[in-house]
Structure 1
Amino acid sequence: MKGSFLLLIFNSLCFLVHAQEIRKVDTSFTVHGTFAKESKRRPHITLAEKVDTTVLTIRQIPYKKTDDRILSLDAYLPKNFDIRYPCLILIHGGGWRSGNKEMMATMANALAHQFLVLTVEYRLSLEAKFPAAYTDLMDAVLWAKSQKQLPIDTARIAVIGTSSGGQLASLLGTNTAANKGASVQAVVNIDGIVAFNHPESEEGEMASFWLGGTYDQEPTQWEKASPLYQVNAFTAKTLFLNSSIPRFHAGRDDMIRKMHDLGIYTEVFTFKDSPHTFWFFNPWFEPMIDKIISFLTKNL
């Protein structure tokens, strides 16, 4: 196992030598920019930045080659390689257009004592429209399930997403990709909508750009991208963690009802007086991590 681990590090370092092609990137959504905005409204908040040095980190591991470039992920591992760990795949937000996997580093670090955590790069809307991001994340799940170099328990894989990443996590959790082997056992949706065309939804230009047009222009794409409309008997158990902003709950209660009708377990918790991006900040970070660990320990 340790020899395979060293080989993985070597392969990752070789990957770093090869520069990716320059492409247009939207950098409007950043952790520090979000903190600067939210701290004006809530002066008591602080960034959750604590890092545990006992966690091993391997960065820029290639997991997929598209027509144009290579996509990578970062792995956060417990130091004990004598057992296999459930695998958590973390999906960043940013309106399907911005953000990056590094935004999930603090969360990954906090979860990497009991789980093996992967933070994943995927194609955003300036590079490729839906379903490219979804396809990339399915391939990340398949990559995790195929791993022999990392101590992953391939029968226990969960996805955790924030904002637009939460929508993608829930879409993966509906197991529409089950025939390709990319099914997951649990989902944590952190303030991600689950329906685009819904009375509670306020999605507009960002969603339209990602989905290739407005609802009137591309109704099939809008419905295919909505986890609410994909719920089936194989949908994964789900924890919904939400801010106090109603628009980011769009479709949630209807999805919970559909899942309950099918006998699928769900939990839901809304953090009072919290901003949309509460997962970046204290005082919400630690309670959020506790709820994630409690849910996954019972259901993964």
Structure 2
Amino acid sequence: MKKLIHGFLLDERPAAPHPAAAAYSDLALELSARPQPGIVAHRDVVWGDEPWQRFDVFAPAQSKGSLPVLIFIHGGGWMSGYKEWTGFMAPGVIASGAILVATTYRLAPAHRLPTIIDDCIEAVAAVRARVAEFGGDASRFYLSGHSAGGHLAMMVALRNDLWKGRLGSELRGILPISGILDLHHDDPQPGSLEELAYLKVLQHPQDDVSSSPVSFAALSEMPIVLGWGSADTERVLRSNELMAWLLEKASAPFEVFRFEGADHFQTHLALADPDHPWYAALARMLGK
């Protein structure tokens, strides 16, 4: 069943786990529905038969040649979410020198990790096949995402053993925002989000390590900007600090971007401001 929310006709999703998540969803959609002068939005570009095989492209109205592409993967705890949460980033991304693509994937619990990771690889490959139509450079891709989407962006980039010829040297950098980078927990508490990952997101409990970006930090070669809020959730803080330590130990190229004073949802919503300093970090990466 579909529902009209802020002008978007969207499939109904499970209720948000707490009021802050519901408020984030509503505001992200409201911000993304606002007019964006000078930007053309190509909605629901079809690349397959399944409803989730769609992506949105945001490009400058006036051609600026072939631009690098920032692909953003939405969050929602792997069980909810919309690509339509992403559109408000378009002015900042385009001002940084790229076009923005928002993609989606099948959701848990019907589809679980690692299937969801493979869906995202397929989506990125589909963007590569089509993005030149919208002014994008299919040889220069950067991956980002918020929360569960940050996790998925990292897994797509770091698990090159899963690419199987679908992706390659076009991936140039990763910018996860409030990513959940470690799914392993020795003793998840009943009713916690950690337990929920074992019950409804992972195909098998033993997939927690192989589905965690921290397990592949030593393999990282492309630049990474790890972003999280100073008031983020404990699991985001813990897993990003661990990832930063592992990347430093491996001498991998990375930098840390802290959203000062921001909680888990404010880290993404802050990017409605096209002058937010995170976009300067994006522009530096695009220039490499």
> Does the alignment reach a TM-score above 0.5?
yes
Distance in 2 between residues matched to 1:248 and 1:281, nearest whole Å: 17
Partner of 1:192: 179
Identity %: 20
Work out whether 1:132 is the aligned partner of 2:115. Answer: yes
Partner of 2:167: 182
SS across alignment from 2:14:
coil
Work out whether 1:247 is the aligned partner of 2:230. Answer: no
Q: Could you tell me which runs of 5 or more consecutive residues in structure 2 were left unpaired when the two chains were aligned.
A: 1-9
TM-score (norm 1): 0.75
Q: What amino acid is the match of 1:270?
A: R
Distance 1:210 1:32, change over 3 A: closer
Distance 1:130 1:24, change over 3 A: farther
Partner of 2:22: 33
TM-superposed deviation, 1:35: 4.8
Distance 1:277 1:192, change over 3 A: same
Asked if the contact 1:173–1:235 (Cα under 8 Å) also holds between the matched residues in 2, the reply is no
Partner of 2:105: 122
Partner of 2:7: none
Distance 1:70 1:195, change over 3 A: closer
TM-score (norm 2): 0.78
TM-superposed deviation, 1:77: 0.6
Distance in 1 between residues matched to 2:111 and 2:194, nearest whole Å: 18
Q: Choose which of 72, 75, 80 in structure 2 pairs with 1:93.
A: 75
Distance in 2 between residues matched to 1:287 and 1:239, nearest whole Å: 18
Distance 1:205 1:264, change over 3 A: same
TM-superposed deviation, 1:142: 1.1
Asked if the contact 1:161–1:189 (Cα under 8 Å) also holds between the matched residues in 2, the reply is yes
Residues 74-223 of structure 1 aligned to structure 2 (within 5 Å) = 74-113=56-95, 114-147=97-130, 148-176=132-160, 177-183=162-168, 184-198=171-185, 203-208=193-198, 209-213=200-204, 218-219=205-206, 221-223=207-209
Distance in 2 between residues matched to 1:91 and 1:257, nearest whole Å: 25
TM-superposed deviation, 1:180: 2.3
Work out whether 1:237 is the aligned partner of 2:223. Answer: yes
Asked if the contact 2:92–2:274 (Cα under 8 Å) also holds between the matched residues in 1, the reply is no
Deviations along 1:65-90, one digit per CA (max 9) or x if unpaired, are 45xx5511111011233511110111
Asked if the contact 1:31–1:280 (Cα under 8 Å) also holds between the matched residues in 2, the reply is no
Asked if the contact 1:192–1:249 (Cα under 8 Å) also holds between the matched residues in 2, the reply is no
Distance 1:35 1:256, change over 3 A: closer
SS across alignment from 1:154:
strand
TM-superposed deviation, 1:223: 1.1
Residues 13-28 of structure 1 aligned to structure 2 (within 5 Å) = 25-28=13-16
Distance 1:59 1:37, change over 3 A: closer
Asked if the contact 2:177–2:268 (Cα under 8 Å) also holds between the matched residues in 1, the reply is no
Q: What amino acid is the match of 2:165?
A: K
Q: Choose which of 72, 75, 78 in structure 1 pairs with 2:54.
A: 72
Partner of 1:290: 277
Distance in 2 between residues matched to 1:289 and 1:138, nearest whole Å: 29
Partner of 1:16: none
Q: What amino acid is the match of 1:145?
A: R
Distance in 2 between residues matched to 1:233 and 1:262, nearest whole Å: 8
Asked if the contact 1:171–1:227 (Cα under 8 Å) also holds between the matched residues in 2, the reply is yes
Q: Which shifted more, 155-164 or 196-205?
A: 196-205
SS across alignment from 2:113:
coil
Distance 1:48 1:262, change over 3 A: same
Give 1 or 2 for the bigger CA radius of gyration. 1
TM-superposed deviation, 1:131: 1.9
Q: What amino acid is the match of 2:61?
A: K
Distance 1:280 1:170, change over 3 A: closer
TM-superposed deviation, 1:48: 5.2
Q: Paired residues, what number?
A: 263
Distance 1:273 1:82, change over 3 A: closer
